[in-house]
Amino acid sequence: MTLPPNVRRRVLIVDDQPGNIHTLAEALRPEYDLFFATNGERALERAQAGGIDLVLLDVVMPGMDGYEVCRRLAIDAKTQAIPVLFITALGEVSDETRGFDVGGVDYITKPASPAVVRARVRTHIELKEARDRLELLASVDALTGIANRRRFDLAVEHEWRRALRGAHWLSLAIVDVDYFKGFNDQYGHGRGDECLRAVAQALAATCRRPADLVARYGGEEFALVLPETDPLGACDIARGCLDSVRALAIEHARSTCAPHVTVSVGMVSLRPSDPHGLTDALTQADRMLYEAKDQGRRSAVHLDLVAATKRSLTLPAAAPGGEA
């Protein structure tokens, strides 16, 4: 994700010669936070740890050379978006071509002018940020500002595989705004859009952990991906969703379950054991949503797929408005 303008970007300098590292550091330190590695293995470890915006990489190093480091960075999902600039004494066209072939974005021949290094680094960080902004826009719902369906599909697949590998809990939920058609009919689509934006932000505020995802699933439906969340934690979040939307106190005269906007929640928790079981889990969450609606809306139904137990959470009854 693109960093705010006031956050210094992080550059990893990889070279087996301390003198070369010192020279590059002197050129870049005024503008960037710098990290260093003197061999390929350490470079990979630091890049995979996250937070690196660009790598300056020597080619000739003992053990793993720069070409192999770049190749490994390019095939790892954690690091493949990091631009790699080769900076090396190898100046043949074939050397430069090989650098591009393994995934490098630029090739600087030593001895390099500090001004050239700064200019090339600045250019490639700006290009990376532009790509990050485009990717972010492609994954955000234009109306609500939260994740869109495309991002949800990618995230839930990723978290399913991760939970499968680590035998972790994973909780999934589908949230629906109660009687939303009636809300639009009563107040107009402009107010309906405002309502969806407010509900989206209330749900996002409830799911506060960095790994949690709240996405617009379609229409007035939202979806939650809650990694490493067990049934007890999932029920707490379901209750938080009900409470946070009710606390918005958005008038809803057409609701038959409350005088304000409420939501219904269908949720499942499980430890994935089947690589192809995600569709079934989402289907079960959808069924729990319909059970929540059948029991009067403004409620959540949670299914623990490991223990095969079900729990219902319902907001206190309130005086209903008019007909939906």
Taken in order 140, 145, 149, 208, is the CA torsion positive or negative?
positive
Identified catalytic residue from 31, 96, 194, 220: 220
3 state SS of 305: coil
Indicate the angle between helix axes 180-187 and 189-206, nearest 10 degrees.
Answer: 140
Give the CB-side neighbour count of residue 205, counting CA atoms within 13 A: 13
Amino acid, single-letter form, for residue 290: Y
- Tokens describing residue 264: 């219904």
Output the six-digit token pair for 71.
């190749």
Specify whether the CB–CB gap between 246 and 315 falls below 8 A. yes
- Name which of 231, 197, 194 is nearest 214 in CA terms: 197
**Residue 235 corresponds to which amino acid?**
C
To the query of whether residue 220 is one of the catalytic residues in this protein, the response is: yes
**Hey, what amino acid is at 261?**
V
CA distance 86 to 67: 9
Taking the C-alpha atoms of residue 299 and residue 262, their distance in angstroms, rounded to an integer, is: 9
Name the residue type at position 159: E
Residues known to be catalytic = 220
